[in-house]
Structure 1
Amino acid sequence: MGHGDCVRLSRTNLSKVAIGLSVVLAGFNAGAIARPNPAAGAQTGQQQESDDPVLSHRPLPKPKGLLIPEGKIKLDVVVDDSAGKPVEGLQPWDFKILDNGQPRKVLSFRAYDGVTVMPDPPVEVILVLDTLNLPFQQVAFVREEIDEFLRHDGGKLKQPLTLILLTDAGIRFQPRPSTDGNAIASVVDGIKGSVSVINSAMGGDGYVERFQRSAKAMDNIAQNEARKPGRKLLIWVGPGWPMLNRPSDGYSDKEQRRNFDNIVELSTALRLARITAYSVAPSSAANPNALLYKNFLNAVKTYRDADFGNMALKVLATQTGGRVLGPDNDLVKQINRCIEDANAFYRISFDPPVAEHADEYHDLKVTVDKPGAMVRTNSGYYNQLAGH
């Protein structure tokens, strides 16, 4: 692609895209949970006395951890052994945080094992069906795979799930998470494939348009999820958006700064929303450039380093501590592998140093004192001046 194909996004363009799009996917009403009334059955004004008082209920176990205020930078950390199984029982002193190569003190710590200690609120799964970037011939197959995943085990999902549909008309989303897989599957069944108006006949302009709409959709999701508490696993089903070529004469200074602003905004929004991204792709997504994203994993420290490839789906998945899976046609297995990360993880925090300037990039490396352990979490963050 030539230099005319470059995208001119801005921080304003990304952040001001309204997330309040028309909600056309079916909503699911969660069953009301009865809450115990401590005054129920008690007689007003009557003093209750007992020689041997007992607890009326046993409180739920609290997450194991240091009950002190969290630091400014908070991380969800997945630790696996060499076989890919969660490493449990770690303590705060097992973790080492390196921020730009300098050690940082772990200020708060939570350990979740998915059995005795569960996250509260539960980890949410956000399943994005990306028909904007999927070949038309593959939409029906992908729908069938998602339907099989949702209806497994009688439609009882292990995690609350939100369905999002990305088309050339924008994004449509389920208004609230649900564990009713059958109900969500009925919505998926109603999704009809159609030939996108943004296609190869548009040439380079089509690539640019798909990039713009996809990047905006990811930013919209992150901005919306940042309003909600809890951790989220965002599973993007599709090949991802195009990785645009750098113009032969390079970017202008203004374009470089816009790219950098967009990268900072999207990276920060995903971290604050506690989103870990995953790339799940069918075999049709296989192409000679499948590993090209690895060229854009390096830190974007200044605006001169910024490129559109730094906002590619697989780059975001890697940098948020997620996975890049596929391409293969067992999408059910790929989705389930992503969800394995849901409930066994650690929550740690630390305070960053004082920033010397706005959007100051810091490289992060978290390790644990266990042989063969593999750690996945955010690979970096942008530090800001005090008061920002």
Structure 2
Amino acid sequence: MRRPARCHCGARRRDGPDLLPGPRRPRRRLRRGGAGAVLKPSPPLRRPLLFVLALCFGAASVGAAPAQVPPETTFGEAVDVNVVNVDVYVTDKAGRPVSGLRKDDFELLEDGKRVEITNFEAQASVPSPPPPAPAVPAPPGATAAPPPPAGGDPLHLVVYVDNVNVQPAHRARALQQLGSFLDRETGPGDRVMVVTDDMGGLHVRQAFTDDRAALARALDEVTRLSAQGGENDRSRRTALDAMYMIQEEALALGNVDNKFADENAEPLEVPCPVRIADPIKSYAESSRVAVLRTIASLKLFVNSLSGLPGRKVLLHVSDGVSVTPGEELFQVLQELCGGGGASSGATGSAADPASQTVDARQFGARSYQASQAMLDAQSYSTADEWTELAAHANANRVTLYTLQASGLEANSAASAESMGGGREQVLRTGSVLFIETNNRRDSLNVLASDTGGRAIFNANDLVPELERIQQDLESYYSLGFAPRRAGDGREHRIEVKVRRDGLQVRNRRSYRDKSPLERSADRTLAALFYGTEENPLEVRLDVGEVRPAEGKTFNVPLHLRIPLFKLFLQDNLQTQALVGKVRLLVATQGADGGISRVRQVEVPIRIPRDKALVALGKNFQYDLTLTLASGDQRVAVGIVDAATAQASYLARNVRVGEEAAK
């Protein structure tokens, strides 16, 4: 993709885990992970119980008793300069990007109160650099060198295909066009990932890469996977048929009872009996469970992106997900039992009495009242959950673009009679179709609009829409401000205004200011998931000899070496020593994709003053022992200088088992 030119106006300080004062730009290394990984949570690690100068830390069992250290005194000051960056897209009335704006053209509000824009950057598209010469293949087992970092914030683009909520034909058409677009526009240094949400969970089909051939293979693989989009339509038709069957039975029983009724007969059956709503309620409930699963999967993946540096963009491909599952069937029921079908087109067929509307009010409490239908429908709403998901994406600086793969949809009202039937065809009439279409779009609208992205609807030719997304990625403004309550962990509203007429603004609508420890945990997980390493402390991480432990577990020693001159150490007059503190964060991922919770310990450092000159030229050593199950494991370690908040994040792949132990 074309590289944006950057105009720096003021000091640049990033939000996220960069905690040093001033506009520090740490070195970044990107190492690709493998394809086919599955993300899912697993039981947390136990708490560490023993650490001295050489720390022993177990992932499933650890020992206990901190070494005695002198009473801690204040040394230095941990300065957490956190700037929240808001990416702003400005267009004219024709939707074209607007360039040339200055900081004074913008007004930024946090929770309705104006805040000072401390950092301002304007980015505009420039041509991509020519592709580099082919690299010499690395020797077997070596880690591939990461691409050189591009200027400015790195961009991570995720193509997220929701196989649970898309039909195969729609998916194939969308991915074919998307693949052609990526093949043309992906350039050296771009970071693109392909992920699918399947009935079995999330699967990484292609880790972050700029390899066009690898991306093409991954998208081709996705088009051959199973897709469940049609299953929901079949379940909905089944519920509709069951509703009409109940009405048919009620009408038949009513006719028989009326013919043979006497004073000792059973109470007459009436049209629209109360039980007529049962199939619809059952469908709505099962569909709601499926929608909540979809939201949970998206939230899990968005959370996994949180520790990646720079901008994160997720392109969500689906046919849409209903905000209020089953609402269109409740609309059918309202019109069937409310006698209102004549105004909407759902009058039914003359040849099918069960599909013809009746006024159930005349039958009282023995009938399902049409006025209850929309109240029942709202009990299955997931609107709040979609709003919370968008806020969660904002908290992790993830912008969502949503692509409805079903393409151009006609929304013209017609009568069921004119469409040749009064049952299934009722779903394509009037207000019923309107509700179903809007429900599928509302979820996609919320995700896109609340996070500053775009929603793509009614587009069979996706190229113009994909080009607009590319314009967003290459031409935008970044506004930075310092929160009033740094690291309070709460959600805050954001509003951006432009002091020029006729311009339209898009940006994320909220943010959550994470604590420094939470941001460090995010970075540790990013190293675990995606191999994004940072090492300003120049830490060396080595894997020792694997040894059998209790049961079917193994002890895996990790050796950390930290140059002492890289740490902040203060002269403590009381103890006649240089003292400091390091925070250590550890997370692991098993062969099955199970992820441990990030655990953190604080390790004090004490160097006698008379040995300081010699010690500062040496390394400080930590020995970590993890107790892990057999199989291919991945370990990530974060090392944070508590005084300066400077941190290194490293990850290693570890083969655990009998062969490794030998």
Is the alpha carbon distance of 1:293 and 1:147 closer, same or farther for their aligned partners in structure 2, counting shifts above 3 Å? closer
TM-aligned CA deviation for residue 263 of structure 1: 4.8
TM-aligned CA deviation for residue 139 of structure 1: 3.0
* Residue pair 1:147, 1:188 contacting (<8 A) in 2 also: yes
Question: Residues 263-296 of structure 1, C-alpha deviation per residue, up to 9 Å, x if partnerless?
Answer: 54x34431243221111123457462444589xx
> Relative to structure 2, which stretch is displaced further, 86-95 or 65-74?
65-74
Q: Does 1:227 align with 2:171?
A: no
The residue that corresponds to 1:329 in the other structure is 460
Is the partner of 2:434 in helix, strand or coil? coil
Bigger relative contact order, structure 1 or 2 (CA pairs below 8 A, ≥6 apart): 1
> Relative to structure 2, which stretch is displaced further, 285-294 or 85-94?
285-294
The residue that corresponds to 2:86 in the other structure is 75
* Residue pair 1:106, 1:348 contacting (<8 A) in 2 also: yes
Alignment partner of 1:288 out of 434, 438, 445: 434
> For residues 124-135 of structure 1, what are the structure 2 equivalents within 5 Å?
124-135=156-167
TM-aligned CA deviation for residue 122 of structure 1: 3.2
- Counterparts of 1:121 and 1:385, CA distance in 2: 21
- Counterparts of 2:214 and 2:220, CA distance in 1: 10
TM-aligned CA deviation for residue 161 of structure 1: 1.5
TM-aligned CA deviation for residue 220 of structure 1: 1.7
Matching residue's letter, 1:342: L
Matching residue's letter, 1:133: N
Is the alpha carbon distance of 1:385 and 1:112 closer, same or farther for their aligned partners in structure 2, counting shifts above 3 Å? closer
Structure 1: gaps spanning 5 or more residues: 1-60, 295-308
- Counterparts of 1:365 and 1:160, CA distance in 2: 29
Considering fraction of residues, name the structure with more strand: 2
Is the alpha carbon distance of 1:387 and 1:164 closer, same or farther for their aligned partners in structure 2, counting shifts above 3 Å? closer
Matching residue's letter, 1:276: T
Question: Residues 160-196 of structure 1, C-alpha deviation per residue, up to 9 Å, x if partnerless?
Answer: 3211112222221245322222321112222314353
The residue that corresponds to 1:53 in the other structure is none
Q: Does 1:180 align with 2:211?
A: yes
Is the alpha carbon distance of 1:208 and 1:157 closer, same or farther for their aligned partners in structure 2, counting shifts above 3 Å? farther
Alignment partner of 1:167 out of 188, 198, 219: 198
Q: Does 1:151 align with 2:183?
A: yes
The residue that corresponds to 1:66 in the other structure is 10
* Residue pair 1:150, 1:182 contacting (<8 A) in 2 also: no
Q: Does 1:373 align with 2:373?
A: no
Matching residue's letter, 1:288: F
TM-aligned CA deviation for residue 231 of structure 1: 0.8
* Residue pair 1:140, 1:193 contacting (<8 A) in 2 also: no
* Residue pair 1:228, 1:273 contacting (<8 A) in 2 also: no
The residue that corresponds to 2:293 in the other structure is 213
Matching residue's letter, 1:348: L
Matching residue's letter, 2:501: P
- Counterparts of 2:189 and 2:94, CA distance in 1: 23
Is the alpha carbon distance of 1:112 and 1:119 closer, same or farther for their aligned partners in structure 2, counting shifts above 3 Å? farther
Question: Residues 328-360 of structure 1, C-alpha deviation per residue, up to 9 Å, x if partnerless?
Answer: 2113332232122112112112234459x9856
Question: Residues 305-330 of structure 1, C-alpha deviation per residue, up to 9 Å, x if partnerless?
Answer: xxxx7xx2320110111111122211
Aligned residues: 305
Is the alpha carbon distance of 1:293 and 1:99 closer, same or farther for their aligned partners in structure 2, counting shifts above 3 Å? farther
What is the percent sequence identity of the aligned residues? Answer: 23
- Counterparts of 2:183 and 2:483, CA distance in 1: 44
> For residues 1-388 of structure 1, what are the structure 2 equivalents within 5 Å?
63-67=7-11, 69=13, 72-115=83-126, 120-152=152-184, 159-174=190-205, 176-191=207-222, 192-194=224-226, 196=228, 199-202=232-235, 203-244=283-324, 248=375, 263-264=387-388, 266-284=389-407, 286=409, 288-289=434-435, 290-292=437-439, 312-354=443-485, 359=490, 361-362=492-493, 364-381=494-511
- Counterparts of 2:178 and 2:449, CA distance in 1: 23
- Counterparts of 2:512 and 2:396, CA distance in 1: 15
* Residue pair 1:280, 1:331 contacting (<8 A) in 2 also: no
Q: Report the RMSD for the aligned CA atoms in angstroms.
A: 3.9
- Counterparts of 2:83 and 2:232, CA distance in 1: 44
Is the partner of 1:90 in helix, strand or coil? coil
* Residue pair 1:293, 1:315 contacting (<8 A) in 2 also: no
Question: Residues 63-97 of structure 1, C-alpha deviation per residue, up to 9 Å, x if partnerless?
Answer: 51211646543211112223323222322222101
The residue that corresponds to 1:52 in the other structure is none
Q: Give TM-score scaled by structure 2 length.
A: 0.40
Is the partner of 1:132 in helix, strand or coil? helix
Matching residue's letter, 1:275: V
Structure 2: gaps spanning 5 or more residues: 15-81, 129-149, 236-282, 328-373, 410-432, 519-662
- Counterparts of 2:489 and 2:475, CA distance in 1: 35
| Structure of larger gyration radius | 2
